[in-house]
Chain A
């Protein structure tokens, strides 16, 4: 063996020959390894950024969400339908008797039965109309007899995995039996589209999402999402603390929504503005019970009728007219009442009749809220630019409560109206109660979900199959999934990336070795005369091999250098292209308190790069084996003679 320095001197001369071929080899192999390097820079950057953002929100907490499986087959169950029909018939009978007693007209034909009929290929089928009061009564009785699993059942199910906390949340029921909830914008109630604003096209946005996504949740889960200086206690002014969607806060601050073409900088500035102004902002929500909401609808309809008939000859206005409330969430006023004494007496009897069968007197009330936190909207930016990578990353960085309005559960006790609404479980499909189990480690959370989840493939279910019964029979009464953060997915992503990187590295190395073999083989063949001369002046076979091995290592190092630079360029380009967008996603998703944080798509992870250099050198050495073996068998004299 010759000295390394001397071998280097001789090997370096070979890098100065066949430059075009050498350059192509470096570029092609370098791009192959560059892909790996780029993947490392980007993936490690994403993981590192997530790690940095994870210190806030739920990022580093391991929480499983649990839904008790409920019996969705109730609507098809004959016993429930029979019970509903019986309740209905009894009510009709009572109504008839009451109408007779009060001396008013009652026509049972105006009533809808709780069991509906429809035609199916196999004959007439029946189902329960879940909105019908009799059906709801029958369902309640059934559910009382077959309660879904609750917090205690979850606690014992999770016990072997040592949970650190079990929490729960309630969501406002889908329907409020005709009642309405409306967030007052600038303190005003709007009626154009009817109370609740549910008539608009497309999915509701901003404050209109309130009625469908108002939740009460354990304070422990809400704390990471409160903005600096805010707390989750009922205010001295009675205001209820609430975390609101970004676009709702924007509307409540009367900021005009940014256009879809808004730049990243503009959107970032908007977020800052919202974060700065929204905390402690008060707003009111108007609740109208079914009777009040109905009177408002009646007032709107009457006003429209009068408007339509303004010029019609002989049109007579109704004798009783309700006006649209002038005060926000005020009572519905009577603007005209020219009814006769008999008409009034009849109306009084009708009211008595209605109230006997459940109708409440008209009532409306406001609840005062106070913004203490912001969460992202389902589609942040209200139709902002679509960016594929950004969306993927957004999915990856999810670390939030979800997209909704969240108030602490413990304020319900001090707020009878809210308490009543949340406990008015009116339909079998209500999202109802969710539970959350927190664990100290990803392993425990992952094992709990993997082993205790009752996975139901609804596509394979018959309509009358009862998921609750199926899951309870398995001893797994809950549907379980990771919640609030991607920490579980991240843990496995980190593990899997390392593994995938090594596998991809090996594949790339073999391909690169084949490419390099061509170059090294050519180099060895081109240098046969030189080899012969070196052998003549004292070089041993091993010395010659050493020179080529050093040459190959240099070639490999050049390839690795090119690869790292190419990968870095790729990652920096991706970072330049997507980082600003993703930073905004991440700032919102993680509810980051430090808005100066950036989400970088590149990070230097030395072990990956060392592995890459190692793989490049290994593929270089692999590529030199065959040419060197072939070369060592050659007769240098013949090579020298052939050259002449």
Chain B
């Protein structure tokens, strides 16, 4: 019922401002975003991520393929947001653009006050190291480094104090239930343990934003559930904003808000 009402108000808005198509589409999208907001902790913090008419085009052979088309979204501090949608809908691309791993073809992104399109490669690296914590589907732990060293790698690149980062790594390992595995190599850990370790690594530099790309995609449902709970805990304990790309409805269900993407656009 609430959705229908929102849509009706948007249609009304469209009729009022039919000359301003762009504004109308934005309004629609905002309405759509609002429509999927779930129940959960009330988010009142300032905007942490803001994309404005964001687009990304890849060149495949001679053809240009639009991965993202005119995406404008906002994510607030402390929010747990899930990007969902079918494969190829552009959700991972959006995640990477927010994380400063790739440059948009058009539009603008502001994360924690940084206008990413204006940052140099070097400054983008610093931004990623300090503001973002990445979690990947395949964990990507260094196989020849023990767990503790794997956890401190982000600190290495951020040139943080050695002792402080060691302490942080130990605490984080404890927080993710791996305190007794610090000396182990990744191959000695289970998939769930590896992903927990990857989350701990992502948290080392106390980022404001965790970007997780299919974090449960390579785990069984029990471990997947544990990871989701861990994200919840991270948000609760550290106040970290969490954005998750997922196909998993269970994960999406845990999010405060689900942003559905389809064909590179935020689905209405």
Please report A residues at the B interface, Cβ cutoff 8 Å. Answer: 2-3, 6, 9-10, 13, 16-17, 529-530, 533-543, 635-637, 640, 644
Known A538-B126, A538-B128; 10 more pairs at CB < 8 Å: A9-B149, A9-B156, A13-B143, A536-B128, A536-B134, A539-B157, A540-B125, A542-B122, A543-B125, A640-B136
Contact B134 A2 (CB under 8 A): no
Residue B154 is within 8 A (CB to CB) of chain A in the complex: yes
Contact B129 A644 (CB under 8 A): no
Contacts of B167 in A (CB 8 A): none
Contacts of B125 in A (CB 8 A): 535, 538-541, 543
Q: Which 4 A-B pairs have the closest CB atoms?
A: A538-B129, A13-B144, A538-B157, A6-B156
Residue B209 is within 8 A (CB to CB) of chain A in the complex: no
Contacts of B201 in A (CB 8 A): 537
Contacts of B101 in A (CB 8 A): 535-536, 636-637
Contacts of A535 in B (CB 8 A): 101, 125, 128
Contacts of B138 in A (CB 8 A): 644
For residue A451, give the distance in angstroms from its CB to the closest CB of chain B.
66
Of the four ranges (under 10, 10 to 19, 20 to 34, 35 or more), the interface on chain B belongs to: 20 to 34
Q: What is the bound-complex CA distance between A10 and B128, given in angstroms?
A: 19
Contacts of B122 in A (CB 8 A): 540-542
Residue B145 is within 8 A (CB to CB) of chain A in the complex: yes
Contact A3 B156 (CB under 8 A): yes
Residue B26 is within 8 A (CB to CB) of chain A in the complex: no
Contact B157 A537 (CB under 8 A): yes
Instruction: List 18 interface pairs A-B (beta carbons < 8 Å), by A numbering.
Output: A2-B156, A2-B159, A9-B149, A13-B142, A13-B144, A534-B153, A534-B157, A536-B134, A536-B136, A537-B154, A538-B130, A538-B205, A539-B129, A540-B122, A541-B125, A636-B101, A644-B137, A644-B138
Residue B158 is within 8 A (CB to CB) of chain A in the complex: yes
Chain B, residues 73-102, CB within 8 Å of chain A (1/0): the string is: 000000000000000000000001001011
Q: What is the bound-complex CA distance between A530 and B144, given in angstroms?
A: 12
For residue A539, give the distance in angstroms from its CB to the closest CB of chain B.
5
Question: B134 is contacted by which of A3, A537, A541 (Cβ under 8 Å)?
Answer: A537
Contacts of B154 in A (CB 8 A): 537-538
Contacts of A13 in B (CB 8 A): 142-145
Contact B99 A9 (CB under 8 A): no
In the complex, the chain A residue whose C-beta lies closest to that of B138 is A644
Residue B140 is within 8 A (CB to CB) of chain A in the complex: yes
Q: What is the bound-complex CA distance between A637 and B134, given in angstroms?
A: 13
Q: What is the bound-complex CA distance between A16 and B157, given in angstroms?
A: 22
For residue A638, give the distance in angstroms from its CB to the closest CB of chain B.
9
Residue B220 is within 8 A (CB to CB) of chain A in the complex: no
Q: What is the bound-complex CA distance between A530 and B121, given in angstroms?
A: 18
Contacts of A10 in B (CB 8 A): 142, 145, 153, 156
In the complex, the chain A residue whose C-beta lies closest to that of B99 is A536
Tell me which of A13, A536, A542, A543 has the highest count of chain B C-beta atoms within 10 A of its own C-beta: A536
In the complex, the chain A residue whose C-beta lies closest to that of B126 is A538
Contact A533 B140 (CB under 8 A): yes
In the complex, the chain B residue whose C-beta lies closest to that of A643 is B138
For residue B139, give the distance in angstroms from its CB to the closest CB of chain A.
9
Contact B142 A540 (CB under 8 A): no
Contacts of A543 in B (CB 8 A): 125, 157
Contact A637 B157 (CB under 8 A): no
Contacts of A540 in B (CB 8 A): 121-122, 125-126, 157
Tell me which of B137, B145, B154, B157 has the highest count of chain A C-beta atoms within 10 A of its own C-beta: B157
Contacts of B144 in A (CB 8 A): 13, 16-17
Contact A541 B121 (CB under 8 A): yes
Chain B, residues 92-120, CB within 8 Å of chain A (1/0): the string is: 00001001011000000000000000000
In the complex, the chain B residue whose C-beta lies closest to that of A15 is B144
In the complex, the chain A residue whose C-beta lies closest to that of B128 is A538
Given contacts A6-B156, A9-B145, contact A537 B129 (CB under 8 A): yes
In the complex, the chain B residue whose C-beta lies closest to that of A641 is B92
Q: What is the bound-complex CA distance between A6 and B158, given in angstroms?
A: 11
For residue B185, give the distance in angstroms from its CB to the closest CB of chain A.
11
Contacts of B129 in A (CB 8 A): 537-539
